[in-house]
Chain A
């Protein structure tokens, strides 16, 4: 089974709110001193792909579209034992929109060959819009199953488990198919072995520049026209009391007040 995993490098979403700044000239977050990290859902996808490969044989290719720094994501993927990695490099200008990203990934994917399964994260930890996977499926002419947290091989394809509002669905999918992956206990990304990290730096990495791929970038689906940090207006009242009992009593009374106000 040939599996492609598309991965995005993003500003560390664990950056504390107090350090977060908006770059008003670009309608993006300020880079400042923040780290760049692989998007966690992309790593969940990678882990899912690796487990599938380890169970069935085949190969995993990691692909990213980003600035030069995105190479770090791919070196980590190689350390996690992907078989092949490729990077489409863009300049550090305004971030491309979801449709441009989908077209670039599709073009690169076609250059890398035919895949049975394409796995992507459900959304990114920065914008969180989560539409790139579906747009990529359409660019590649693939069906798509979203919010998958488990994948097993099945005749001619996959048996998937996907999360729903009410529980889980079991979905049978014929290959080729695109799936978007969400986090669960079973797909926490593996920690690469130190010697694999060292080896990863010497492994081949296919790179293309954005211009080389020849993707028309004139069609966008969306543009950020405003970006702001909302002001908070809440001050926490910490309950008072000389003993734990008194504090719990005060806390309980406040809750009971709300409850009695409801119909």
Chain B
């Protein structure tokens, strides 16, 4: 049986923190299996990306046909199926970007393997891959044994340490894959929301707003606070469902998983599904007018008060302290 690991990266993401985490997880798993780590890059990568990946992998396969430059589900799926099929690994690892989430189950089925998502730890037991992940909306932690091979796993990538360089430089091979001429689904337009500053998942400081914020306009006050803190702004699912902030700002089980030095939760009750998204935060603090709010059970420090009374003086005070 194979003991190799394949990591799947999209060229358009570059060797970002998520890719570094997937590579780190891949190296560790390959070591546990006693095999090699192969990187597959979908789409034409920049030179700096290829070099960075070649420094941490044993081999690199680049699928750089121009049709693969922008994500198209059917084309990416066909190309990964071929590349992974040829490499015949014990495990295929991906990040938790939306493209990878979309492909995982179908890729696993086509390779005859087992899919899994949001893996926070990987282990090998009696030759089978085991994946740790959150369960029951963050109330529990489960270990799944994946019973078919290969294991095809989306990882909570930023929670894994970046791969260490191997000390060598992997061979880089460009492979042409067969792509279907006609596809039943096609991305015809991509809208990118303007975000200022660092993306939520990479931010060291994050301010989150919840249902208690009460509307779209008050989120402007949070943005002001975030600016003084040099923080990114996110939200609980409730605030997103109300339409006060875009879905891409959502933090939680079905949103972004963040890992900041500090997360400030404002008017957020602290339901398990939201807390699931902040479990990698080094420190958590909260402003909530309910002393029994769940969020305080996950916070290092807090203030029990109506956020409307706290945020304006907090902005002033922080301006003074950080000027």
Contacts and interface: CB of A to CB of B under 8 A. Distances in A.
B185 A173 contact: yes
Nearest to B275: A17
Interface string A111-143: 000000000001101111111111101100001
A70 B317 CA distance: 54
Sorting the interface of chain B by its residue count into under 10, 10 to 19, 20 to 34 or 35 or more gives 35 or more
Interface on chain A toward B: helix, strand, loop, or mixed SS?
A: mixed
A260 to B, nearest CB: 8
Contacts of B271: 14
Q: Most chain-B Cβ atoms within 10 A of its Cβ — which of A167, A174, A229?
A: A167
A211 B10 CA distance: 43
B297 A236 contact: yes
A213 interface: no
Nearest to B300: A234
Contact of B321 (A20, A145, A253, A262): A253
A190 interface: no
B191 A225 contact: no
Contacts of B309: 244
A251 B243 contact: no
B313 A245 contact: yes
A223 interface: yes
Interface string A97-116: 01000000000000000000
B142 interface: yes
B254 A182 contact: yes
Given A129-B116, A145-B102, A236-B302, A172 B188 contact: yes
Interface string A1-23: 00000000001011101001010
Nearest to B312: A248
B125 to A, nearest CB: 8
Contacts of A14: 271
A96 to B, nearest CB: 13
Contact of B185 (A129, A174, A237, A249): A174
B105 A184 contact: no
Interface stretch (B45-53, B130-138, B163-171): B130-138
Interface stretch (B21-29, B86-94, B107-115): B107-115
Contacts of B247: 149, 163, 182, 184
Contact of A236 (B106, B125, B273, B300): B300
B98 A163 contact: yes
B193 interface: yes
A255 B102 contact: no
Nearest to B242: A185
A248 B140 CA distance: 35
Q: Most chain-B Cβ atoms within 10 A of its Cβ — which of A11, A129, A188?
A: A129
Contact of B118 (A128, A138, A185, A259): A128
Contact of B302 (A239, A253, A260): A239
Given A239-B302, A248-B310, A253-B321, A127 B148 contact: no
Given A128-B253, A138-B105, A144-B106, A188 B241 contact: yes
B227 to A, nearest CB: 13
B67 interface: no
A227 B229 contact: no
B147 A221 contact: yes
Nearest to B256: A165
Given A244-B313, A255-B318, A262-B204, A220 B147 contact: yes
B132 to A, nearest CB: 8
Given A169-B190, A256-B321, A262-B204, A232 B297 contact: yes
B254 A238 contact: no
B179 to A, nearest CB: 15
A202 to B, nearest CB: 34
26 contacts: A13-B272, A29-B140, A128-B117, A128-B137, A130-B117, A134-B109, A135-B109, A143-B183, A146-B98, A163-B247, A170-B188, A172-B188, A182-B247, A183-B241, A221-B115, A221-B146, A226-B142, A229-B139, A229-B140, A234-B297, A244-B305, A248-B314, A251-B287, A253-B321, A255-B285, A256-B321
List of 8 A-B pairs having minimum Cβ-Cβ separation, nearest first: A134-B105, A252-B317, A138-B109, A170-B189, A226-B143, A146-B102, A221-B114, A256-B321
